[in-house]
Amino acid sequence: MAQQTEAVRRPPLNRDRVLRAAVALADEIGIEALSMRKLAQELGVVPMALYKHVANKDQLLDGMVDVVVGEIDLPAPESDWKSAVRQRILSARRALQGHSWAAQVVRSRARPTPVVLAYMDSVIGIFRTGGFSVDLTHHVMHTLGSRVLGFTQELFDASPSPAPEAQAVLVPADAGQFPYVTELAMAVAHDEESVVGQGCDDQFEFEFALDLLLDGFERLRQQRWTSANPSGEKTV
Amino acid sequence: MAQQTEAVRRPPLNRDRVLRAAVALADEIGIEALSMRKLAQELGVVPMALYKHVANKDQLLDGMVDVVVGEIDLPAPESDWKSAVRQRILSARRALQGHSWAAQVVRSRARPTPVVLAYMDSVIGIFRTGGFSVDLTHHVMHTLGSRVLGFTQELFDASPSPAPEAQAVLVPADAGQFPYVTELAMAVAHDEESVVGQGCDDQFEFEFALDLLLDGFERLRQQRWTSANPSGEKTV
DNA sequence: ACCTGAACACCGTTCAAGT
DNA sequence: ACCTGAACACCGTTCAAGT
């Protein structure tokens, strides 16, 4: 009956409250532990009550992505295309990084929601108004891939690994077996004494790749690259 | 008793047979439908019998990745770094594309297996013997990210979507709401009349991004880029 | 209109036992 | 050494019913 008192006191459930509770719960216990049943319990409600506000778990995950994308800063008003794209993408990165599960959930979605489409539309718009042809914009967006939402697909995440283990993975016991991996891992370990010893500086790697791509885009734009005439220039 | 006869006839289970059956079953029914229970049934065995050969489902997935990575061609003997890297990565791409679930499983793994480490070692080796410093190789491998195994993280996969639906997603009903998305989608639809009408040419996009990155790498190598001196050249 | 309870058809994995 | 059977602690989602 204590439970009934709680039930009376709580505000009526709605889609927004469900989504925000899901985001908070995933932040806390991780995405793999998030279940409809646990979310319901957190909201003091029976599991099936959630299904009045989200059609199923997939729609719940879509909604959670929308909450995160809603945290991305609005585009800067006046700037060249390159710094405008940079600003948006690095802001997306900050938003995604605030929720450790977000990148993983984004890449698991089959289709973009309207909220995500609106964000992508604004990035495409920066390229178009910045002098990129539709054709070049198309391929440039493909090249960016997941980077447009502020994350890159590393080959291995190792996110749920205890910190001390990290070094042991990069420098395997049998160092002779993978000489180039070992050489690289040792150089990284040495190099980064200043940093917390975490290994690689994610932010640096992200910006390195982003800038390499943006510089390549600028070169293609200047050459008036088209997919019909990849060598550029000559047709002008 | 018919079942008992089958049981007698079948060769004894081993890790290799389990992994290969898992790969074949995932090819057939998809990775989300692959369960320890169904795999056991496929092998004519009780679920718990599998646990003598793989520690748990994570180790089964690791082993499945190893099977796919084992299908990547050996490196070409004599060639410049750029075509050698290109050849390996495009071969990895072919291997991964033979198993629709593979990219998704690779990116879900926390740590590389020895088989995957050996493949990465060989790619790192191409850069090192091709004149890249350890430092530059490190950042270049990060830039490649999942591309080193032949896939890129598109923002939305839409892989399990029926073909006719594809166009409807790219050209939303309310076209005015996302003008740049719409413009781009219409250009793509127009442009690709020659192709099956599937929308984007994945292979073209993959090679466009790969070549953009490889060209950027070559430029940095020539400038003697280092992370300590990103502008390059001057220190030489 | 919103929430509930019981049930269905699944999971991965444990334990103790069989051959 | 290898396989089995039963059980445990979960899932997402259905259906029919309550208020």
Give the pLDDT of residue B58.
94
Best of B106, B156, B159, B205 to disrupt the A interface by mutation (most A CBs within 10 Å)? B156
Q: Is the pTM of this model over 0.75?
A: yes
Class of domain B77-222: mainly alpha
Reading the block at residue B62, the tokens are 């690791």
When scoring A69, A89, A106, A142 by the number of chain B Cβ atoms within 10 A, the one with the most, hence best to mutate, is: A142
Q: Which of A96, A76, A109 is nearest to A147 (CA)?
A: A96
For residues A209 and A211, give the distance between their C-alpha atoms in angstroms, rounded to a whole number: 6
pLDDT in tens, B10-26: 667 899 999 999 999 99
Find how far residue A176's CA is from the centre of its chain. Answer: 36
The answer to whether A9-55 and A77-222 have equal CATH topology is: no
Q: What are phi and psi of A120, to 5 degrees?
A: -65, -35
State phi, psi for A229 to the nearest 5 degrees.
-140, 70
DSSP β-bridge partners for residue B226: B229
Q: Tell me the sheet residues that pair with A229.
A: A226
Using an 8 Å CB-CB cutoff, list chain B residues near A148: 155
Specify the pLDDT at position B156: 80
A34 CA to D9 C1', in Å? 16
* Range of lowest pLDDT (A222-236, B144-158, B193-207): B193-207
Q: How far apart are CA B234 and CA A12, in angstroms?
A: 66
Please answer yes or no on whether A138 and B184 come within 8 Å at the CB atom. yes
pLDDT at A232: 65
Protein residue ranges contacting nucleic strand D, Cβ under 7 Å: A 33-38, 47-48, 51, 56-58; B 7, 12-13, 45-49, 52-53
Q: Average pLDDT for residues B77-99, to the nearest whole number?
A: 93
Among the listed residues A71, A69, A56, A74, the one whose alpha carbon sits nearest the alpha carbon of residue A115: A69
Residue numbers of B between 68 and 87 with CB closer than 8 Å to A: none
pLDDT at A172: 56
Beta bridge partners of residue B147, listed in sequence order: none
- Cross-chain residue pair A161–B110, CB shorter than 8 Å: yes
Nucleotide nearest to B43 (CA to C1'): D3
Cα B108 to chain center, whole Å? 11
Confidence of residue B192 (pLDDT cuts 50, 70, 90): low
**Structure tokens belonging to residue A106:** 């984004």
Contact A22, A13 (CB under 8 A): no
* CA/C1' separation B33–C19 (Å): 33
Q: Answer yes or no: CATH 1.10.10.60 is held by domain B9-55.
A: yes
Quote the pLDDT of residue A185.
Answer: 83
pLDDT per residue of chain A (236 residues) written in tens, 0 to 9: 333 334 444 667 899 999 999 999 999 999 999 999 999 999 999 999 999 999 999 999 999 999 999 999 998 888 899 999 999 999 999 999 999 999 999 998 988 999 999 999 999 999 999 999 998 999 999 999 999 999 988 888 755 443 333 445 555 566 778 888 888 888 887 775 544 445 788 888 888 999 999 999 999 999 999 888 877 665 44
How many whole angstroms separate alpha carbon A20 and alpha carbon A18? 6
If you average pLDDT over residues B58-70, what whole number do you get?
96
Please report the pLDDT score of residue B18 as a whole number: 96
Q: Give me the pLDDT at residue A32, please.
A: 92
pLDDT of residue A192: 59
User: Per-residue pLDDT for B165 more than 60?
Assistant: no
> What DSSP state is assigned to residue A146?
G
Q: What is the pLDDT of residue B180?
A: 87
The residue extents of the domains of chain A are: 9-55, 77-222
Question: What does the pLDDT read at residue B8?
Answer: 43
- Residue B190: the pLDDT is 76
Q: What tokens were used for B145?
A: 């990210």
Give backbone dihedrals phi and psi of B56, rounded to 5 degrees, phi first. Answer: -165, -175
**Residue B3: is its pLDDT beyond 50?**
no
